[in-house]
Structure formats: C-alpha cells, structure tokens
Amino acid sequence: MKKIKKTITGREGKKNDLLVTMKAEERGGVRITVESKVMSMYGEQIEATVRETLKKLQVKHCSVDVSDNGAFDYVIQARVEAAAGRLYEIEAPGVLPERKVPLRENEKERLRRTRLYMPGNNPSLLYNGGIFGADCVILDLEDSVAPDQKDAARILVRNTLLSVDFGEAEKIVRINPLSSRYGRCDIETVLPAGPDTLLIPKSENASDIKEVEEITGEIEQRENLKNKTFLMPLIETAEGVLNAREIAAASGRVVALCFGAEDFTADMGVRRTRSGKESFVARSLLVIGARAAGVQAIDTVFSDIKDTEGLIESTREAKDIGFAGKGVIHPSQIQPVHDVFAPGREEIEYARKVVSAIDRAREKGSGVATIGRKMIDAPIEKRARKVLNIAETLGLTD
Amino acid sequence: MIPEEIDGKKLKPFKGAHEDHGGGRKAGPPIRAIADNKTKLRSSLDEAIDDCNLKNGMTVSFHHHLRNGDHLGNMVIDRLAERGLKDMVIAPSALFPVHEPIVKHIENGVVSHIEGSMNGPVGRACSLGKMKKACTLRSHGGRYRAIQDGDLHIDAAFIAAPLADPNGNANGRGGPSACGVLGYSLADSLYADNVIVVTDNLVPFPNYPWTVRGGNVDHVCRVENLGDPEKIVSGTTRLTRSPTRLLIAQYAARVIRDAGIMNEPEFSFQAGAGGISLAFLDYLAEIMREQGVKADFARGGSTKFMVDMLEEGLIDYILDLQCFDIPAVESVIKNPRHIESDPFTSYNYHTKGNLATRAKAAVLGATEVDLDFNVNVNTHSDGWLLHGTGGFTDVCDSGCTIITVPLLRGRVSSIVDSVTTVTSPGELIDVIVTERGIAVNPKREDLMENLKGSDLPLKSIEELRQTAVDIAGTPKKPEYEDRIVALIEYRDGTIIDTVKQLKL
C-alpha cells in the first residue's frame, strides 16, 4: 500500500462522469455508497460495477463513495481503477474491461483529411467524438489533460478504446513525450486496447521515434497484439522541422508527419497569425520531408472555431502546399475541411478517363495506354486511382 | 390494459389513429342575452369570481400563452382557496414550473385533479398519487375536441388577456404582458359557462383583432400584473451549440431533402422551438435556398428563425399558435402573412379540416421511442410523469413525422423496447433521427425507397436500440402501485394508455 490513504477521481456533476472518493482501510471489507442522477434505474448496477472492479484489482478493504452523473460502466471502471491506483500499486496496463467493439485491421494508406482532438479525461466528449465523420479521432493524453489527471485519463482512454465504436475513423492516441514521466506509462496502458496509431508530440529527431518504436514492438510482442500500431510524429519545434525527413524515415510504422503551430511559434518566439505566414516555410519543409520519406503530411489546427472563412483559406493553403489533411478542434470544422480536400469534378473526370484507358489497353494486351497523345505512366495511374478511391469513399462518383 | 371505467367515468379504449369517424352533436354553452350584459366590467377579479357562483367540484380553466411568466393561474386558485372551495378541477391548456403552488392546493383539498396538461412539480404530485381522481392528459387538439364535444365541461374560464376592451374583445398583441397569439383560449371562450377576461391593459372599445370575441365574454376585470414579461417571451432565441444536437438537426433537414418531400407540391412543415427544432430550421432554410424551394406555410411555435424565413420569402405564411420570442410577437402584429391560429384550425380531430394534417413534414422531440415506433412525451423512463402532451399527437398526423432525439441523454436511452407510456401510436411516426443513426418506420416503404441513395446513416430501430444497450446497459424498470393516476387520452377521445402511481 502507498502512503496516501484517501483519494478523489473523476469530475463531479459532469455529463457521463462520476466522482469517486476512495479510502484505504485495514479491515472491514469493501463499503460502497452510491448517489446517482439515475439512481432508480442504475443505482444497483453502479454498485455492482464498483464492487466487481475492486475485486479484479484485488482491493479487499476500502470505502468508496460514488456521486454519479450518468456514467457508463467503462467510465465507472476507469474512475475506480484510477482511484485504486493512487492508493495501491497497480502495474500497467491495469485491468482491462472486456472488448465490446470490433478490432478493425489497421491501414497505413487512408484518408486523413481531418483529425479531431478530444480531451482524454472527458467521457462525454470521448464518447461522442466518433459521430461527426472525422477521418481520424485523437484521444488526447497530452496538452488537454492536467498533470494530476494523467493517470485517470490514460485509464479512461484505454477503456474508451475497448468500449466505444469509432466506426471507420482512425483511432489515434496522443501520448505524452517519452521525455516526460508520463510517456512510457501512456504507451504501456493504452496499447493493449488497440489504438491504430500513436501521435508522438515534440518529435525532434529519429531517435525519438525509434525509442517509441522499440517500446511499442516490445509490448505488442509481450501482449500478443494482432495489429501493428502506427506512429505519427508531431513536429512542433525548429529542430524537428529541420529533421523532418529523418523523423519520417525513422520507422516503417510512421504513416504521417503532423505539424503543431502553437508550440512551434512558441519555440521560434514569434506570434501566431491568422494567415500562418510565420510557419509557412516550416510547414513546406515538413511536407517535403514527409514526401521524401513516402509518408503523408498533415497540417496544424486552425484555432478560431468561429472563423469558418479563415479555416477554409488556411485549409486551401494547406492542400496547395501538399498537406493531406488538417487538425480540427471542433466538430463544426470537419465539413469545411472535407469540402476543401474533396477532389473537384474535373479531377474526377480526368481520373476516370485515365483508368478506363488503362483498362482498355490491358484488355488488348498492350502495356501502353494513352489519352490523346499523352502516355499514361505508372505515377499517373496511381494518382488517378487514388483520386477515384477518395471520390468513391466520399460518394462523389455518381 | 385500459379499464372500462375510472372514478365513475366510462372509458373508450384506443382503436387506431383514424378509426373514429365522429358522430353525435357538439356541446353548447348557456344562452345569454344582451339585456343582462350592458356592462360587464367588474371592479376586481374577486367580484368577477363571485359573479360566477362557483361551487365545490366545479371546473376552472386557463390558457398557457403567458408560459412560465403567468401569474393569473395562481391568483385565481388562491382565491378559490380563500372562498373555502374544495375539490376543484383545474383545466389548463398547459402548466409550467411557475404553477408549482397548485401542489399545495392539491394537498389541502382545494384542487381535486387536473384535466389537460401537467408539467414538472404538478406532474410529480400526480405520480405520487396526491390527486383525488385520475387526471386526464390531452393534446392541444384533444383538449379542444373534449371541450367542443362536451367531455370536458368548463364552469369558469379565466382568460389572461394582454389587450382587452370593456366588451371583452381580447388579444395578445400589446401591453406589458404581450404574448402575440392568444388562440389557446378559443374553446374556453366558446363553450365555458362563465367566460372571464382578465387584463392588465384595458383599452377603449373596439379592440381588434378580437381573438376572443366580446360576445362570448361574461365578465371583464383588471389586475395589476398578468405576468412577468421576461418569462412570457424570450428577448432572443439562441441556437444550440451542442455539436450532437446540431448533427441531429442537420440529419432531420437532410431527411426532408433526400426523401424528396420538399420537391413535392404544396411543401409545408411544422417545427417547434426546442433546441433541435430551431437548429433544424436553420439547416432547412439553407437547403431550401440551395434547392430554390419555398414552403406554402410553416406551423409554429414561432421564433425569430421562422420569422426570418418568412421575411426572406422561404415561407409564404406562418400559421402560429404560440410566440416564443419578441421578434415573433412583433411579426404577428405587423405582418399579415404571420397568421394567428388556434387549436380548432390547427389540431382538432373532430373537425372538417385542420392544418396539422395538411403539413407535409413535422419535426418533434420526445422522451422515448420504442421498437414499434410508439412515442412517449409524458413520462420519463423512471416512471415520473413530467410533461404535458402539447400539440404532439396532433402534429404526428403530418405527411412525414420526424422524431428527433439524442440516442442517449446521459446514460438514459431514448430508444427502448417498449415505451413507459404511449402518447402517440407508432403508426403515425415515420422517421426517428438520432446522432448515431436514422430509422425509418418499415411501414413507410415509400420513404425507405426514396432514402436509399442518400448518404444518411440509415439503421433499423432495432440496431439503434442495440447501440444504446451496448454502451449504457439495461436499466431497472420503475415499480408501480396498482392505482391509475393519469389517463393518456388520444386526440379522438379514446384512452391510449394510463399512468400508474410510482412505488417508491
């Protein structure tokens, strides 16, 4: 047992959350009291969930007071486990709830037009993050989580990954940097829950990535995980920008480089502007580095959620310099970004011509296809198929 | 099971949404003569009440245009108590939290029970079994029908009138308690034994338009304040900022677009003033602009959002039963295309034509929907009776009735195996829209067919139910005593369900 005797986890009165007050006891078994907004409907079930969780954690004597505001079982489990973790030694990854959602096969090549940030300690936002159609969802353990809630958030994120169906979206967990005291435990805790990808903040060089790769590989082997976890370095310093290519090439697991303007401008000691001119060169270098290593590049977030015009301008610029997507911090930003990244009618028409010319040529047994007098080579075909794939995914092909 | 009789009243069980074909004759109020009505201005509310000769067990009524700002309901019931009256029946068109003092009068025996609508604290008292007799919950159209048919006899109707003249001609179009429309008082003014117009703003004769006609009014009296203006209408109505609610609203608008409803002739729709409904209007307006479509009419509750659509030319007429904000009040006063309606014109079932049935689409909220598409707006899943029916069941008669609900409110699912209380039968419900998918009633094969090519997330109602159960688990059902405390009356006068006293 640790030195602390009493702890409080969770957020009182917040939607889909609960407050757990837990005291370590020497004897007397487990004593639970429950207050809940949905007492008559779920009171007994809440108590049973708390009891079962404590049993799995092998806590024999304690008192637990729950003040519930409509939390789901996996949230209750997470809050109780976090509380117990502060009173007793619990080794990562802790006690995983049963997987409720299908584990989908991880894909390296996919649409990443939008990645929606969700604070990792907020059950309600995490639960709803998947319904707005973002290509990727980010369950964030870093900047949106206060230092004293890091433990609670990583357990909540782990349970959320096992319990909430995010549909086709790529499930990304932003861990804390390995240089912090949280990073390693983040990976240890969330990886067995099967995120598609880890977003690695403050990536500055190849060895930052290699270190994560090593830990990730170890855990995958030890836990016998089916999916290979991908990595997405987040570049947000001058050093990182200049090393973009080596970071992208550091591991076969890297699928994209992301840019983080907030920390970058802080690092540079410059002001962040609406047009983003202060980071234009950095973002261009990042795209070039990513392309040189054969991975995608994804732009930073546009932080004024009321300025839709600004968002659209910024997204157009991102698309023009070669980014495949943009970070978003609010569901209302998703559609405008998708609209910018959607291939236009002419682009789709041309891609269709390319593909049908190639199909015709292959039918005839000819290796060479042409449109007019222009020969279609492999990169043109690849690009055309990609455009059609995106168009089809977006339902633009009718 | 619907009992054959309750408190000595014979009950007819619900047979189907359109099985009743009328018959019989309407009720009639007493015949009065001008010889006795040369002056009807009374010196005070007390004098007006005394002139009504009220006796124990009689029924008094109110309208709810002053919403949560209403003072009149409590003023009158307090005076009934002062006179030592007992077992009075209260027949409001709706109650609000401001009417909580009624609970006290239920406990002390002044009030026996409620005929019409309950909300919040009074509903809670009903669930606890505090009323002497079973209450009846009716829709707005159902209330009009019950009064018109003589099922609900009103001894004294107290009509709060923001503008009135000494002959009793009254409307809601001015004064400190201005509420715009005053149509919910129509049946009361036509059929009650005593009609009392109470105003805080007496103006010279003639006060026109006369929503309440002086020829139907027995007494007119003045009070200092009818209500609290800030709670009668909102200054501004704001759009919800909840991304989940916005998504539901957007899906609802897209259902109307993708099902081709707005491209059919005589497009018209109804939407209320709830958060999702307002956002729905916003999305609908955008789509109507894109498609170059306009609506022949929209049925309110009206707000600035609907008024803006009228002024932009997206809607030809607003047919309105309740103004929710100041822009709506101003509009109904100045714009001849913003028409004041009433439950007879809008909702009545025993009628030769109404507006709700003509509307091509309607968007409504609910507390629960079940696998048979039955809808509950009266009780919560824990068994508490907390809401009146409003116009709900009447509006469900539209061409395409869309129920918008968050799949989960906190941990509580809106889609259930079987609703706690049936307010509206599933046969009237066409589409359920949630943030996690849209279910079309399988009976609406035409809608299913039209929506096939759409990129909306179509699911079966069973799939939606499963999604909710997977995440929230299955709640414990409420436990009840044997006693029936409320009847849910369908708009044709049959009883579609009952509410029992909660076992605590």
Query: Mean pLDDT, to the nearest integer, of B337-349?
Result: 97
Pairing of strands B412-413, B408-409: antiparallel
A152 and A206 co-located in one domain:
yes
A75 and A185 co-located in one domain:
no
Residue A1 pLDDT exceeds 70: no
Taking the CB of residue B48, how many other CB atoms lie within 10 A of it? 26
The domain spanning residue B318 has which CATH number? Answer: 3.40.1080.10
Domain membership flag for residue A146: yes
Report d(CA B413, CA B461) in Å as an integer: 13
Least confident of A329-343, A352-366, B171-185: A352-366
Domain membership flag for residue B31: no
Residue A208 pLDDT exceeds 90: yes
- The per-residue pLDDT for range B53-95, each reduced to its tens digit, is 999 999 999 999 999 999 999 999 999 999 999 999 999 999 9
Query: Mean pLDDT, to the nearest integer, of B178-196?
Result: 98
Report d(CA B484, CA B113) in Å as an integer: 13
Query: Mean pLDDT, to the nearest integer, of A124-146?
Result: 96
Chain A and chain B share a number of CB contacts under 8 A equal to 62
* Nearest of A103, A196, A179 to residue A142 by alpha carbon: A179
Q: Is B128 on the interface with A (CB under 8 A)?
A: no
Residue A183 pLDDT exceeds 70: yes
**A273-to-A239, A259, A262, A278 alpha-carbon distances in Å:** 21, 15, 10, 7
Number of structural domains found in chain B: 2
Q: Is A168 on the interface with B (CB under 8 A)?
A: no
Residue B289 pLDDT exceeds 80: yes
Q: What band does A240 get if pLDDT is binned at 50, 70 and 90?
A: very high
The predicted pLDDT at position B219 comes to: 98
Closest-CA distance of chain B to residue A154, Å: 19
Please identify among residues 152-171 of chain B the ones whose CB lies closer than 8 Å to any CB of chain A: none
B318 and B286 co-located in one domain:
yes
Q: Is A385 helix (H, G, I), strand (E, B) or coil?
A: helix
A65 and A169 co-located in one domain:
no
The predicted pLDDT at position B1 comes to: 83
Predicted structure pTM score: 0.93
Query: Mean pLDDT, to the nearest integer, of B397-410?
Result: 97
Please check whether residue A157 is in contact with residue A126, taking contact to mean a CB–CB distance below 8 angstroms: yes
Question: What are the beta bridge partners of residue A256?
Answer: A296
Query: Mean pLDDT, to the nearest integer, of A227-256?
Result: 97
- The per-residue pLDDT for range B101-150, each reduced to its tens digit, is 999 999 999 999 999 999 889 999 999 999 999 999 999 999 999 999 99
* CA B230 distance to own-chain centroid: 21
Query: Mean pLDDT, to the nearest integer, of A171-183?
Result: 97
Query: Mean pLDDT, to the nearest integer, of A91-119?
Result: 91
Give the mutation candidate from B244, B471, B474 for the A interface (greatest A CB count, under 10 A).
B471
**B365-to-B107, B341, B356 alpha-carbon distances in Å:** 32, 22, 16
Nearest CB among A38, A44, A132 relative to B410 is that of A38
Query: Mean pLDDT, to the nearest integer, of B372-379?
Result: 98
Residue B52 pLDDT exceeds 90: yes
Query: Mean pLDDT, to the nearest integer, of A140-158?
Result: 97
The domain spanning residue A238 has which CATH number? Answer: 3.20.20.60
B211 and B355 co-located in one domain:
no
Closest-CA distance of chain A to residue B360, Å: 29
Domain membership flag for residue A92: no
The predicted pLDDT at position A389 comes to: 80
Please check whether residue B431 is in contact with residue B447, taking contact to mean a CB–CB distance below 8 angstroms: yes
Domain boundary among A322, A341, A360: A341
The predicted pLDDT at position A370 comes to: 82
A349 and A333 co-located in one domain:
no
Q: Is A128 on the interface with B (CB under 8 A)?
A: yes
Residue A279 pLDDT exceeds 90: yes
Structure tokens at A97: 């709830």
B216 and B265 co-located in one domain:
no
Domain membership flag for residue B139: yes
Query: Which residues form the domain of A387?
Result: 345-393
Enumerate residues 6+ apart whose C-beta is below 8 A from A68.
Answer: A18, A34, A35, A36, A37, A38, A42, A46, A76
The predicted pLDDT at position B6 comes to: 96
Query: Mean pLDDT, to the nearest integer, of B371-378?
Result: 98
A122 and A249 co-located in one domain:
yes
Residue B198 pLDDT exceeds 90: yes
Query: Mean pLDDT, to the nearest integer, of A71-75?
Result: 98
B275 and B140 co-located in one domain:
no
Asked if A38 lies within 8 A of B412 by C-beta distance, the reply is yes
Give me the torsion for CA of B435, A136, A10, A27, rounded to 10°: 110
Residue A383 pLDDT exceeds 80: no
Domain membership flag for residue B314: yes
Asked if A128 lies within 8 A of B244 by C-beta distance, the reply is yes
B266 and B405 co-located in one domain:
yes
A201 and A336 co-located in one domain:
yes
Asked if A131 lies within 8 A of B475 by C-beta distance, the reply is no
B146 and B181 co-located in one domain:
yes
A259 and A120 co-located in one domain:
yes
Domain membership flag for residue B318: yes
Please check whether residue B174 is in contact with residue B201, taking contact to mean a CB–CB distance below 8 angstroms: yes
B345 and B439 co-located in one domain:
yes
A31 and A158 co-located in one domain:
no
* Nearest of B2, B9, B187 to residue B113 by alpha carbon: B9
B91 and B220 co-located in one domain:
yes
A47 and A130 co-located in one domain:
no
Q: What band does A390 get if pLDDT is binned at 50, 70 and 90?
A: confident
Number of structural domains found in chain A: 3
**A74-to-A163, B244, B406 alpha-carbon distances in Å:** 7, 21, 20
Q: What phi, psi does A177 have (nearest 5°)?
A: -60, 150
Per-chain mean pLDDT for chain B: 96
Domain membership flag for residue B96: yes
B221 and B351 co-located in one domain:
no
B88 and B201 co-located in one domain:
yes
Q: Is B173 on the interface with A (CB under 8 A)?
A: no
Q: Is A100 on the interface with B (CB under 8 A)?
A: yes
Domain membership flag for residue B387: yes
Q: Is B229 helix (H, G, I), strand (E, B) or coil?
A: helix
Asked if A41 lies within 8 A of B476 by C-beta distance, the reply is yes
Structure tokens at A244: 């973009």
Please identify among residues 388-427 of chain B the ones whose CB lies closer than 8 Å to any CB of chain A: 409-412
Q: What band does A364 get if pLDDT is binned at 50, 70 and 90?
A: confident
Q: Which helix (H) or strand (E) holds B408?
A: strand B408-409
Please identify among residues 454-473 of chain B the ones whose CB lies closer than 8 Å to any CB of chain A: 455, 467, 470-473
Q: What band does A110 get if pLDDT is binned at 50, 70 and 90?
A: confident
Domain membership flag for residue A297: yes
A126 and A76 co-located in one domain:
no
Asked if B473 lies within 8 A of A73 by C-beta distance, the reply is yes
A159 and A15 co-located in one domain:
no
Residue A275 pLDDT exceeds 90: no
A218 and A310 co-located in one domain:
yes
Domain membership flag for residue B70: yes
- The per-residue pLDDT for range B230-263, each reduced to its tens digit, is 999 987 778 889 999 999 999 999 999 999 999 9
**B494-to-B13, B154, B301 alpha-carbon distances in Å:** 5, 20, 27
Enumerate residues 6+ apart whose C-beta is below 8 A from B417.
Answer: B370, B371, B465
Asked if B411 lies within 8 A of A70 by C-beta distance, the reply is yes
Q: Is B248 helix (H, G, I), strand (E, B) or coil?
A: helix
B57 and B188 co-located in one domain:
yes
Pairing of strands B5-6, B295-299: unpaired
Query: Which residues form the domain of B192?
Result: 5-15+40-232+483-502
Per-chain mean pLDDT for chain A: 93
- The per-residue pLDDT for range B467-491, each reduced to its tens digit, is 999 999 999 999 999 999 999 999 9
Closest-CA distance of chain A to residue B467, Å: 9
Query: Mean pLDDT, to the nearest integer, of B209-220?
Result: 97
Q: Is A16 on the interface with B (CB under 8 A)?
A: yes
Domain membership flag for residue B418: yes
ipTM: 0.92
B468 and B494 co-located in one domain:
no
Taken in order A101, A103, A106, A110, the sign of the CA dihedral is negative
Chain B residues with CB-CB distance to A67 below 8 A: none
